[in-house]
A and B are shown apart, each in its own frame.
Chain A
Amino acid sequence: MDKPKFVYVSYINSTPEKVFNALLDPEMTRKYWFNHHNASDWKVGSRWEHRIFDEPATVHVVGKVIESNPPNRLVVTWARPKDEGNDQKSSRVTYDVEPFGQSVKLTVTHDEFGDDTEMFESVSFGWPVVLSGLKTLLETGEILAAPSESSCGEELKAAQAK
C-alpha cells in the first residue's frame, strides 16, 4: 500500500452538514474553488466532473465516486479528462468530515498518484489555497480567491511546462 502524498487538516467553525454541502454545492464551490464546480449525482460508481462554473463544457478533472457517506466521508478518483480510465494516471481524494468540539475537522487526503508527478506538483499548489478559501467562506461569508486568478487547468499547464 502506497502511503498518502498529502494530508491536509483544517478546523472550521461550522457544522459537518454545511462543510459537506460546501464541497458539492456549485454556488459554494465557485466561490472558493477557482470558479469551478463539481458535477455528479454523487452515487457510488457515478462519474464526477470538475468544471468551470459558467463554461460547463470546460472540464479540468474527472473521476468516479468510490464512497459517499454524507456528511462524513466522500472518496473520489481524480484524473485529467484525457487520462480517464488510465489507472496509472488516476489518483484518489478522500474527504473526511468529523465533528470536533464546537467545530469541524476536515481532512483531505490525496494519494495513489502512481507515476503522475505532474498532477502531484499541480495539486500541491492548489489544495491549501482551495481549503483555506473554503474555511474563510464558511466562517465569514467572504470570498477569498479572485475567481479569475487561477484555475486547475492553468496549474496543470504550468506544471507541465516545468
Chain B
Amino acid sequence: MAGATKSRGDLLQGTLDMLILQALLLGPAHGHTIAKLIGQRSNDLLQVEYGSLYPALYRLEDRGWIAARWGASQSNRKAKYYRLTPLGRKQLTIETSRWARLVTGVAHVLRPAT
C-alpha cells in the first residue's frame, strides 16, 4: 500500500521533518513560507519538493509535533498556519542531535585515511 512513499527514503523524510520543525521555531507559518524559509536559510542549496512538503506537514500534524489553524495571510487570503507544539519542540532537539551524530559519523568515514 505504502510502497510509493517508502521508496523516497527514510533519511530524506526525517531530514525534511527536522527542517520543517526548525523553520517553525521562528514562529507560525504557512506551507509556502516554510518552503521559502528553508530555501533562504540554506542559501538556496535546498529546494523543498512541494510534493513532499505537504504530506510531511500532515504527517507531523498527525503526530502532534505541529498544530494548524486557518488564518488570514498578508494578502488577506485564508491560509493554513502551522506552529510548533511543545512535543514538536522536544522532537526537534532529538532530531537535531541525531543529525549532528550522523554528520559527525559521515565526516569520520569520509576523512582521508591517516
Partners in one complex: no
Mark B residues whose CB is within 8 Å of A.
Answer: none
